[in-house]
Amino acid sequence: MCGISGFIDFNKKITRQQLTSACNSLKHRGPDDSDNAFIETAKAIIGLGHRRLSILDLSPLGHQPMYSDDKSVVIIINGEIYNFKEIRIELELKGHVFKSNSDTEVVLKAYQQFGTGCLSRFIGMFSIVIYDANLQKVFLIRDRPGVKPLYYYFADGCLLFASELKALHQFPNFKKEIDDIAVTLYFKYGYIKAPRSIFKDTHKLLPGHFATLNLKDQSLQLTQYWNVLDYYNKPAIDIDEQDAVEQLETLCTSAFQYRMVSDVPVGVFLSGGYDSSLLAAILQKNNTSKINTFTIGFNDEAFNEANHAKNIAKYLGTNHNQYYCTTNEAQEIIPSLPFFYDEPFGDSSAIPTMLLSRFAKEQVTVALSADGGDEIFAGYVRYDQLTSINKVQERLPYFVKKNAAKFLATMPGISMRQRKVAALLTQRELLATSDLLSTHFLATDLQQLLQTKSLLDTPLNDDNSIPDYGFINTLLAADYKVYMPDDILTKVDRATMSVGLEGREPLLDHRIIEWAAQLPVNLKYKNGNKKYLIKQLTHKYLPVEMMKRPKMGFGIPFGNWLKGGLKPLLLETVNEESLSRQNVLNKKYVLTLMDEYLTGKIKDDWQVWLIFIFMLWWKEWMN
One domain for residues 155 and 16: yes
Domain boundary among 529, 547, 565: 547
In a domain, 143, yes or no: yes
The one-letter code for the residue type at 405 is A
User: Is 452 part of a structural domain of the chain?
Assistant: no
pLDDT digits (tens, 9 = 90+) for 177-227: 999 999 999 999 999 999 999 999 999 999 999 999 999 999 999 999 999
CA distances from 81 to 114, 302, 403, 574 (A): 16, 39, 56, 44
Based on the fold, state whether residues 254 and 311 are members of the same structural domain: yes
pLDDT, the chain, mean = 92
Both 184 and 320 in a single domain? no
Instruction: Mark whether 592 and 614 lie in a shared domain.
Output: yes
Considering the domain architecture, whether residues 75 and 136 belong to the same structural domain is answered as: yes
Predicted confidence (pLDDT) per residue in 392-428, tens digit: 777 777 777 777 777 776 776 667 777 887 787 778 7
Angle (CA) 403-405-408 rounded to 5° is: 110
Amino acid identity, position 180: D
The pLDDT > 70 percentage for the chain reads 96
Compute and round to an integer the Cα radius of gyration of the chain: 24
Its pTM stands at 0.94
Instruction: Report yes or no on 495 lying in a domain.
Output: yes
Mean pLDDT of 275-285: 97
DSSP code per residue over 522-553: GGTSBTTBTTHHHHHHHTTTS-HHHH-S----
Q: End of a domain among 177, 199, 226?
A: 226
SS3 at position 245: helix
Known active-site residue 2 = yes
Residue 424 lies in a domain: no
Does residue 244 fall inside a structural domain?
A: yes
Answer whether residue 598 is part of any domain. Answer: yes
Question: SS3 of 339, please?
Answer: helix
Tell whether 206 and 303 lie within a shared domain.
Answer: no
Q: How confident is the model over 354-373, as pLDDT tens digits? A: 999 999 999 999 999 999 99
User: Is the distance from CB of 19 to CB of 36 less than 8 angstroms?
Assistant: yes
3-state secondary structure 407-459: HHHCCCCCCHHHHHHHHHHCCCCHHHHHHHHCCCCCHHHHHHHECCCCCCCCC
Indicate the pairing of strand 158-162 with strand 209-214: unpaired
Same domain, 114 and 208: yes
Task: Give me the pLDDT at residue 420, please.
Answer: 81
**One domain, residues 513 and 589:** no
Q: Which residue has the higher pLDDT, 408 or 341?
A: 341
pLDDT for position 593: 95
Domain termination residue (choose one: 170, 195, 226): 226
Q: Single out the catalytic residue among 2, 118, 158, 252.
A: 2
- Residues 272, 156, single domain; the answer is no
| Measured torsion, CA atoms of residues 141, 516, 259, 277, in degrees rounded to the nearest 10 | 140
The pLDDT assigned to 460 comes to 45
User: What's the pLDDT band for 57 if we cut at 50, 70, 90?
Assistant: low
pLDDT confidence of residue 455: 55
Domain shared by 211 and 295, yes or no = no
**Residues in the chain, total:** 623
Query: Domain residues for 206?
Result: 2-226
d(CA 311, CA 318): 11
- The pLDDT-based confidence of 283 (bands split at 50, 70, 90) is very high
3-state helix, strand, coil split of the chain in percent (to 5) is 45, 15, 35
CATH at 493: 3.40.50.620
Within-domain flag for 123 = yes
Q: Total structural domains in the chain?
A: 3
Q: Which of 58-67, 123-132, 263-272, 522-531 shows the lowest per-residue confidence on average (mean pLDDT)?
A: 58-67
For the chain, give the longest Cα–Cα distance.
76
Read off the CATH number of the domain in which 130 is found.
3.60.20.10
Residue 127 placed within a domain: yes
**In terms of domains, do 516 and 591 share one?**
no
Residue 556 scores a pLDDT above 90: no
Answer yes or no: do 177 and 255 share one domain.
no
Could you read off the pLDDT of 343-359 as tens digits, one per residue?
A: 999 999 999 999 999 99
- Percent of the chain at pLDDT > 90 equals 77
pLDDT digits (tens, 9 = 90+) for 441-491: 988 899 999 997 655 554 444 445 788 899 999 999 999 999 999 999 999
